[in-house]
Amino acid sequence: MHTTAEEMLTYPALHWFDQFARAARPLLESRPSRRQVRVLSKAAEGLCHVLRELQESCQPLPEGAQRKRALLRLAVEAVSGWQAPTGSSADLCRRAVESVWHRAQHMA
């Protein structure tokens, strides 16, 4: 069976959007623990990577991922309010989430 580039990127994109959604939801309501910051950072980095691959192969966001963009926007709003020293894990996490949002906006 021949797999297209779109099919090869659809599953990872949906997987990382789901990972990001699971990590981001609790952070929308509270101050994050170190573990939550690590989990969200990993999800944001994975999502950013797969979005870059989609962009480079000129593929659109998969249908399921389109529906999760609202949560991504809420996560960006939440992390933008974090008071974190430059270079700290929370600061790096905030930057990773903002990077994902920036990439996702250009794929709309």
Rounded mean pLDDT of 70-92? 89
- Cα distance between the two ends of the chain: 31
Q: pLDDT tens, 8-61?
A: 667 788 888 888 888 888 877 677 888 989 999 999 999 999 999 989 998 888
The pLDDT, as a whole number, for residue 17 is: 87
Check if the beta carbon of residue 93 is closer than 8 Å to that of residue 37: yes
Q: Which residues contact 83 (CB under 8 A, 6 or more apart)?
A: none
The pLDDT, as a whole number, for residue 61 is: 83
Evaluate if pTM is beyond 0.75. Answer: yes
Rounded Cα distance between 1 and 88, Å, is 46
